[in-house]
Amino acid sequence: MPRLDPLTTALVLIDLHLRRRGVRTIVLGGVATDFGVESTARDAWERGYAVVIAEDATSSVSAELHEFSMEHILPQIGVICPSAALSFEGD
């Protein structure tokens, strides 16, 4: 079995914990819309999670990079909405 790097190991463990708890949707925000948020959104989508991006809880080093990501990349991966529209109802 190949050895996993620490980040991959952490992601596998996070995924395992989320699945054990029945989590099906991931809500994202972050400081690098065009880098960290996109990367995390892709990873969550590839693992089968529904992805929601809180548009007003993200930013980037430039407005242009943020807008490009929000208009062209992230809509292909998940749903974009303002954080005020989010509802966290649990069992």
30-64 pLDDT per residue, tens: 988 888 899 989 999 999 999 999 999 999 999 99
Q: Rounded to an integer, what distance in angstroms lies between the CA atom of residue 34 and that of residue 65?
A: 6
Predicted confidence band of residue 90 (pLDDT cuts 50, 70, 90):
low
Predicted TM-score (pTM) of the model is: 0.84
Of 26, 21, 31, the C-alpha closest to 69 is 31
Which sign, positive or negative, has the C-alpha torsion 26, 60, 70, 57? positive
